[in-house]
């Protein structure tokens, strides 16, 4: 009951923000937070629930964005349908590359997904006849609902967070379901999960495909609002920023993706005021620090630090009492 109440309160808050916030910049920032939340939720299911690391999520964001851009600008496909097609393409590609790739583990899996990201990025630049190369694609139309244009900041906020809330409800239900339990069993011990009759290979590919769909939809939404896509938006750096946020927020729950999203959206905005060029450096250092401080797979960094401090204080207390 508490879980549902928390979701409802959060949903009411984010959906009523446009009524009280009139600044277009902040509305846009909050809407982009919704799409980053979608990407982070997919990674949270993949890494936090199933224990499968991916450094290539930006590739699927790009697939969604470019699918929508190409279909709407060149074939005049309805934006909603183009978004759906992009999600299907991302899922199929994730399934195709996931079958061999997800047989790897640990650093090998990370490097393989990193390679997928780089391949997609290179293709987006080199297939100039389709993607317009480094110049990108402009003139992408906004989403429409009947005769209503959903391209304004308030409308885009409502659409982006509306879809994000649907994904959040689905993810929360999935995490509490039998499938979610099988994913967590897979994260803890793959041999043990297989001994319980769980088809681990199938589960890994399924959650990889689901994360790709979340990323693709988010990419499409961004493309419809910005009206422009370019390969430089979907680099390895973006994938690293996403995974940094998810780990920072905590891998134990889907809600951790929200706290991580706040960090990866707000921190770059603050760094722009100092020096935009140091963003990549800051996130690289942050990821290293997080990995050094991370104590448990499911806990957040703050929980890890708290546990370490508690241990040190306990040892000091015991040593002091022993000295007496």
pLDDT tens-digit profile of 143-202? 998 888 888 999 999 999 999 999 999 999 999 999 999 999 988 888 899 888 899 999
Retrieve residue 306's tokens: 């708290």
Helix segments in 134-199, DSSP class H:
153-176, 178-188, 190-195
Residue 287 vs residue 55, higher pLDDT: 55
**Residues 6 or more apart whose Cβ sits within 8 Å of residue 69:** 137, 140, 223, 229
State how far the alpha carbon of 147 is from the alpha carbons of 84, 142, 143, 151, in Å: 20, 12, 10, 12
Tell me which range, 2-11, 60-69, 272-281, 283-292, is most confidently predicted by mean pLDDT. 60-69
Kindly tell me if the per-residue pLDDT of 40 is higher than 90.
yes
| pLDDT range class, residue 240, cuts 50, 70, 90 | confident
Domain ranges of the chain: 2-233
Kindly tell me if the per-residue pLDDT of 305 is higher than 60.
no
Kindly tell me if the per-residue pLDDT of 20 is higher than 70.
yes
Kindly tell me if the per-residue pLDDT of 322 is higher than 70.
no
Q: Which of 37-41, 230-234, 278-282 is predicted least confidently?
A: 278-282
| pLDDT range class, residue 123, cuts 50, 70, 90 | very high
- Res 1: pLDDT: 63
């Amino acid at each position: 009951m508490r879980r549902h109440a928390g979701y409802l309160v959060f949903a009411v808050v984010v959906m009523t923000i446009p009524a009280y916030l009139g600044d277009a910049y902040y509305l846009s920032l909050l809407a982009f937070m919704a799409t980053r939340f979608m990407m982070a939720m997919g990674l949270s299911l993949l890494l936090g629930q199933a224990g499968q690391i991916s450094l290539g999520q930006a590739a699927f964001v790009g697939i969604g964005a470019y699918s929508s851009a190409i279909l709407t600008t060149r074939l005049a496909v309805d934006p909603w349908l183009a978004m759906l097609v992009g999600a299907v393409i991302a899922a199929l590609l994730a399934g195709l590359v996931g079958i061999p790739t997800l047989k790897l583990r640990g650093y090998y899996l990370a490097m393989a997904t990193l390679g997928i990201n780089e391949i997609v990025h290179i293709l987006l630049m080199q297939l100039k006849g389709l993607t317009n190369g480094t110049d990108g694609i402009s003139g992408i139309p906004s989403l429409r609902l009947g005769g209503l244009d959903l391209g304004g900041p308030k409308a885009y906020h409502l659409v982006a967070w509306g879809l994000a809330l649907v994904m959040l409800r689905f993810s929360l239900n999935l995490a509490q379901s039998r499938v979610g339990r099988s994913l967590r069993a897979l994260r803890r011990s793959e041999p043990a999960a297989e001994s319980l009759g769980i088809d681990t290979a199938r589960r890994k590919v399924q959650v990889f495909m689901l994360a790709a769909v979340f990323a693709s939809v988010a990419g499409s939404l961004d493309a419809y609002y910005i009206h422009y896509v370019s390969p430089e938006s979907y680099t390895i750096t973006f994938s690293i920023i996403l995974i940094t946020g998810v780990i920072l927020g905590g891998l134990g729950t889907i809600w951790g993706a929200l706290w991580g999203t706040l960090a990866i959206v707000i921190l770059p905005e603050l760094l722009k005021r100092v020096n935009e060029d140091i963003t990549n450096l800051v996130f690289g250092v942050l990821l290293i620090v997080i990995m050094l401080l991370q104590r448990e797979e499911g806990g957040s960094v703050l929980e890890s630090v708290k546990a370490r401090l508690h241990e040190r204080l306990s040892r000091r207390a015991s040593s002091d009492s022993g000295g007496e």
